[in-house]
Amino acid sequence: MNEREIVALIREMAGGPHPGVEVQIGDDAAVFRFPTPDVLLTVDSLYEGVHFDMDTYELSDVGWKTAAAGISDIAAMGGEPLCALLSLAFERPPSSAEVLALVGGFREVSILNGCELVGGDVCRSPGGLALTVTVAGKPPDHGPVRRSGAREGDLVGVTGCAGDSAAGLFILQRGDDGARERFPGLVEAHLRPKPRVLAGTILGEHGVSAMEDVSDGIAPDICHICSESGLGCEIQADLIPLSDELKELAEEASVDPMTWALSGGEDYELLFTAPPGRLERILDSLGKLDIPASRIGVMRPAGEGCRAVDAEGETIELKGLGYEHFA
């Protein structure tokens, strides 16, 4: 397909009309009617050979993960995702089936989260498939939840389970079809993470003091909150929620599950802080909606650093752990 044919196909896939979309795909720019004067904006890029490998991913998985990454950033501020722009760069002209799979995966997760694809760009890439997504959203009425709002003594919580995506990547990189069949939840957690939009809304409404999505790993992401809030933290490693599949795989592969839990990224769970008297109410509200969440630590003075303590009382320094592009 050529560029015009790709755009025409994506426009056909997008359909319409959609609430808020006044000018759809096909013009130089989209026109979207936002319900509030303030708008949340985020951008994420995924590159073949860095974020994904076509030996282990389907094109629909790549599209899904691209949308999930952007939508998760909006969720991490307690916001509501509304619309997205998608830039696609192909190393060679794609077939219509390839475009349908790639954009279909993107729209699958975006539609689930009420985030309409309204425009973007198509071009040639000199080295592999590349995608960039920009997501715009509505902030909560009380304002966005930032990383900088934590206070000393606040408790640290996290939704879902930690490390499943990293464990899924471990299976994919080994090329073990048997493990892939036995641990489908881990593989799905890596290929098709689910943004916690509803959880983000509830956490924001309950007045969490700081929040971030787990994109790089619990260790670096809690360190981000600590740095922005001018604090330290103590994470209790034995309280970090681990799935049964992850624990079984870790034992089978002789891997410390804390490696995946602390350093494994792309879980897209929500890491948050809240005053002690508020956290139990938050966990209860999430539980009533079948959204698992756990208390895992406490915010400390900056001088105490960012650390985790295991069941034997051994200290794990969190700074320097996790994924970093230029490490």
CATH number of the domain that 261 lies in? 3.90.650.10
In the block, residue with structure tokens 């056909």? 12
CATH number of 103's domain? 3.30.1330.10
The residues that bridge with 132 in the sheet, in sequence order, are 45, 87
What does the pLDDT read at residue 313? 87
DSSP alpha helix (H) spans, the chain: 3-14, 59-75, 96-112, 164-174, 177-182, 184-191, 197-205, 218-229, 244-253, 257-263, 276-288
Q: Percentage of the chain with pLDDT > 70?
A: 100
Q: What is the pLDDT of residues 191-202, one digit of tens each?
A: 999 999 999 999
Q: How confident is the model at residue 72 (pLDDT cuts 50, 70, 90)?
A: very high
Q: Is residue 326 situated within a structural domain?
A: no
What does the pLDDT read at residue 323? 74
Q: Is residue 91 situated within a structural domain?
A: yes
User: Is there a single domain that holds both residue 159 and residue 123?
Assistant: no
Q: What is the pLDDT of residues 256-310, one digit of tens each?
A: 999 999 998 899 999 999 999 899 999 999 999 999 999 999 999 999 999 999 9
Q: What is the pLDDT of residues 212-269, one digit of tens each?
A: 999 999 999 999 999 999 999 999 999 999 999 999 999 999 999 999 999 988 999 9
Final residue belonging to a domain, choices 115, 138, 161: 138
Structure tokens of 224?
């981000």
In degrees, rounded to 5, the angle at the alpha carbon of residue 40 between the alpha carbons of residues 166 and 320 is 35
Whole-number Cα distances in Å, 174 to 78, 109, 187, 255 = 37, 27, 12, 14
User: Is there a single domain that holds both residue 184 and residue 252?
Assistant: yes
Mean pLDDT estimate for the chain: 95
Phi, psi of 240 (to 5 degrees): -65, 125
User: Is there a single domain that holds both residue 80 and residue 217?
Assistant: no
User: Is there a single domain that holds both residue 127 and residue 161?
Assistant: no
Q: How confident is the model at residue 82 (pLDDT cuts 50, 70, 90)?
A: very high
Q: Is residue 180 situated within a structural domain?
A: yes
User: Is there a single domain that holds both residue 128 and residue 170?
Assistant: no
Is the pLDDT reported for residue 17 higher than 80?
A: no
Q: Is residue 134 situated within a structural domain?
A: yes
The residues that bridge with 81 in the sheet, in sequence order, are 137
Is the pLDDT reported for residue 211 higher than 80?
A: yes
Final residue belonging to a domain, choices 93, 116, 138: 138
pTM tops 0.75, yes or no: yes
Q: How confident is the model at residue 312 (pLDDT cuts 50, 70, 90)?
A: confident
CB 213 within 8 Å of CB 75: yes
User: Is there a single domain that holds both residue 219 and residue 121?
Assistant: no
Q: What is the pLDDT of residues 125-167, one digit of tens each?
A: 998 999 999 999 999 999 999 999 999 999 999 999 999 999 9
Structure tokens of 151?
């206070």
What does the pLDDT read at residue 38? 96
Is the pLDDT reported for residue 106 higher than 80?
A: yes
C-alpha to C-alpha distance for 107 and 129, rounded to whole angstroms: 18
CB 39 within 8 Å of CB 134: no
C-alpha to C-alpha distance for 237 and 311, rounded to whole angstroms: 7
Q: Is residue 325 situated within a structural domain?
A: no
Is the pLDDT reported for residue 326 higher than 80?
A: no
C-alpha to C-alpha distance for 10 and 182, rounded to whole angstroms: 36
Is the pLDDT reported for residue 324 higher than 80?
A: no
- Residue 48, domain extent: 3-138
Final residue belonging to a domain, choices 138, 164, 197: 138
Burial of 134 (0-12, 13-18, 19+ CB in 10 A): middle
Q: Percentage of the chain with pLDDT > 90?
A: 88
Structure tokens of 318?
């969190």
User: Is there a single domain that holds both residue 77 and residue 175?
Assistant: no
Handedness of CA 36, 81, 202, 145 (dihedral sign): negative
Q: Is residue 324 situated within a structural domain?
A: no
Q: Is residue 265 situated within a structural domain?
A: yes
Q: Is residue 323 situated within a structural domain?
A: no
Query: What's the DSSP call for residue 25?
Result: B
Query: What DSSP line would sit under 267-310, residue for residue?
Result: ---EEEEE-HHHHHHHHHHHHHTT--EEEEEEEEEGGG-EEEE-
User: Is there a single domain that holds both residue 62 and residue 165?
Assistant: no
What does the pLDDT read at residue 22? 87
User: Is there a single domain that holds both residue 68 and residue 162?
Assistant: no
